[in-house]
Amino acid sequence: MEILVSVILPLSLAVIMFSLGVGLTPADFRRVAERGWAFAVGAICQIVFIPIVAYAVVVAFGLSGAIAAGVMLLAFCPGGVTSNVVSRLANGDVALSVSLTALVSLMSMLTVPLFIGWAVVHFMGEDAPEITVTSLALAMFLITTLPVSIGMGIRYVAPNFASRAEPKLLVLSSILFVIIILAAIASNWALFVENFATLGPALAVLNIVTMVGGLVIAGVLGLNWAEQKTISIEVGLQNGTLGITLAPIIAGVASGIPTIGLPSAVYAAIMYMTAIPFVFWLRSRNHES
């Protein structure tokens, strides 16, 4: 189990983030400047709106301690790589989805350490682990920013190789994603069973409210239908893998996945149960685009 926590989890996340970097081109970043308003709406929804909803859910469902802090950790994480695939399935704006996933993931190196430092103290009190923002930011850099940067570098110097490798990396990332979720739930099985009756509905509400909220906010702020769908999916599909991987680092444990990582594992499974019907509904309304 110690190898899982200290080696396999960080390495798996690094591979997933590397696969994101391999798919990025300079054009993805130029789009941020060219379509600044759509990107700003999506980024603000991810960085501000999701944590607000998560805090409301924590209070409404009476969650506390490490479980509550874990829900907030999940909310602070950026959108997952799979959101790009789901945006494509929903006939959304895939270019915007990729740009948001990449840029917000890079920004999370700063936002996650700062926000989670507050959350663990607020919800865990005297039981809160001591978090050094600098060390957590360094860990974020090593397992997210650096792999993305390496992937981008390979895309730049060997675009043909990157294009061939990208589909295989996506499959590998999906497999690793499932393994990480199952490992996190299995290592906390008793806690999972004990808390699922409350935690499951709470996380389902979080997912539904953020997806619908993202759609409504994007519509009110004047984005087109494809952009609205993309914002909705980016806001609704969080990077649970990152939350699971960061949990042992935050809790300072070398064996097993701590309680603070459980919400990310449960959410990663639940979000597809709620997101898939929602995506089909979005596709059914394509005549409005």
Does residue 2 or residue 96 have the better pLDDT?
96
Give dist(CA 256, CA 186) in Å, integer. 10
**Which residue, 178, 20, 214, is CA-closest to 98?**
20
Confidence check: pLDDT of 3 > 70 = no
* pLDDT given for residue 289 in this prediction: 47
Dihedral angle sign, alpha carbons of residues 151, 155, 157, 159: positive
Domain ranges of the chain: 2-283
Topology of domain 2-283 in CATH is Na+/H+ antiporter like fold (1.20.1530)
The 10s digit of each residue's pLDDT in 223-260 is 999 899 999 999 988 888 889 889 988 988 766 678 89
Q: Tens digit of pLDDT for each residue in 87-99?
A: 878 888 888 888 8
Residue 184 has pLDDT above 80, yes or no: no
The CA distance from 20 to 164, in Å, is: 14
Q: Which residue has the higher pLDDT, 6 or 164?
A: 164
Listed in sequence order, the residues at least 6 apart from 73 whose beta carbon sits closer than 8 Å to its beta carbon are 112, 116, 119, 243, 246, 247, 250, 260, 261, 263, 264
pTM given for the model? 0.87
